[in-house]
Structures are given as structure tokens and as C-alpha cells.
Amino acid sequence: MNKFAFSIMIFFLIAILFIMSVDIAFARTFNNDFETGDLTDWEKTGTAFDFQPTWGDNPTARNRGQPSQHQGDWWLGLAERYQGPEKGAALGQKPGDMEQNAQGGVAPDYPQGTLTSIEFTIVGETMNFLMGGGSRAWGTAEPCCVNLVIDEEVVRTMTGSNTESMTRREWDVSDLKGQIAQLVVVDQSSGGWGHPNFDDVHQADAGGDNIPWSQVTAVDARGKLAVSWAQIKKYY
């Protein structure tokens, strides 16, 4: 092989390695715990998510006696209407504020809607997440739950236990490996306990260790996910 051909080969190898590294970096951006402070990587319908994610332990701020037990600063609390010391304060919100009805009255279960994640590949044995809120199951008249959806079919679902406090829940997804899925947070009730709470979702391996989302999304997109300033702030 002459020097020119060898140089060209080395150039292309370096270019490929560079592209792969950029792809992996870009793939590190799924907002699995809402710590961007917004709904990056999720698409909402309805009005239930207009003031989400919420910031801090709002149930405790109003002496509810049911601490949120959220991870980090931000989480989905569909009864809540407080978006933190910066954005929330600018909007006249205060810790412990709750959702309202069309007339402006306190109505924590009034709004309805859905929130759908970006697509991702199932690579783990299990999925785990924090879940609270109402126990209105999928398949009932007014569900409030979190669903795992593949090809528009609900393959796993979970509700809260009629408490604002979230606990760690788990799905066995070992039989779904390699399939493309989405998470959908559902709030289709305005009745009592008509809201879900949700936070901090992960896939885990056979040993129970969480798999970095950078590995999951690298499998999916090779850098094709849209990267926003909010996503960049999460990691850098």
C-alpha cells in the first residue's frame, strides 16, 4: 500500500471515530428525571402538564404529611403548580401551590392530558422508576398511570397507591429486549386521586444495576436525537 492510500485510510478511520464519539455524546440526552427543569424529550397533550415538572417537596410545603420522595430537584407531580424559586416566583407561584380549575379555584385533580417520551430501545432486564399519586388503572374509565408502549400497544402499566409519596416500582422487560418503546404518563381523570406522580426512570441489567441512558440512546440514534440547550445543561 503506498503512502497516499495509507494516509487516506487513516484519515477515514479518524473521521469515523470522531463521528461515533459525537454520536455517543449527542445520545446522552434523554431527560429521564426531568432535571432539565422542563419537558425536553417529552410531548404533552391537554393541560395537565402545563406547570410541569414541579420543583421541590410541595406536599410537605403544604403540610400534607405525604412527602414526595422525589429524586433531584424536579419531578412530575400532577397536583402541583410550583415551578421553582426562579420560574415559579416570576409567575407568582409559591411552594405548596396546587393545580386550579377553569375558574381559578384549587382543584389538584382537574386538568387532564398525556405526556409521551421519545422512542428508545429496550436493552435491560427491568425498568424501574418512582411512582405515586392515584391508583386509577389503565383500562378503567379514568386512568391515571404510566404506560410502556410498543407499536401503539400498552405492554406494561403502573399506578400510584393513593398517596403523594412516590416509591420505587419495577417492570420485568426481559421479553421485550430489542424493541422500540415509549413511556406515556396518563392523566385522564378529574375525580379524587385523579393524578399520577412520576420521576427518575431507568433500565437495569440482570444484576440490578441501572444502565446509563447514554448507552440506551446510543443504540437508538447514533446522534440523531435533537439536542437542546436544556439537555446540554444537564450534562455539562
**pLDDT level of residue 218 (50, 70, 90 thresholds):** confident
Residue 129 DSSP class = E
Q: Work out the angle at residue 228's Cα, subtended by the Cα atoms of residues 81 and 19, and round it to the nearest 5 degrees.
A: 150
Task: With a cut of 70, say whether residue 27 has pLDDT above it.
Answer: no
Min mean pLDDT across 31-35, 141-145, 225-229 is at 225-229
Query: pLDDT tens for residues 80-136?
Result: 999 999 999 999 999 999 999 989 999 999 999 999 999 999 999 999 999 999 999
Q: What pLDDT sits at residue 5?
A: 52
Domain ranges of the chain: 3-235
Q: What pLDDT sits at residue 108?
A: 95
Q: What pLDDT sits at residue 19?
A: 41
Q: What pLDDT sits at residue 9?
A: 53
* % of the chain with per-residue pLDDT over 90: 77
Cα dist from 41 to 33, 37, 119, 120, 163, whole Å = 11, 12, 9, 11, 27
Closest CA to 108 of 51, 39, 55: 51
Cell of 226: 435533537
Tell me the pTM.
Answer: 0.83
Ramachandran sector of residue 43 (left: φ over 0; alpha: ψ -120 to 50; beta: rest): beta
Counting Cα atoms < 13 Å in the Cβ hemisphere of 92 gives 0
| Separation of alpha carbons 227 and 232, rounded Å | 7
Beta strand 153-158 pairing with 196-204: unpaired
Closest CA to 195 of 83, 61, 25, 75: 75
| Separation of alpha carbons 32 and 210, rounded Å | 12
Closest CA to 201 of 35, 66, 80: 35
Give, for 44, the enclosing helix (H) or strand (E): strand 42-46
Between 47 and 26, whose confidence is greater? 47
Cα dist from 91 to 54, 97, 105, 106, 216, whole Å = 13, 12, 17, 16, 36
Task: With a cut of 90, say whether residue 48 has pLDDT above it.
Answer: yes
**pLDDT level of residue 2 (50, 70, 90 thresholds):** low
Q: What pLDDT sits at residue 217?
A: 85
What values do phi and psi take at 227, rounded to 5? -110, 125
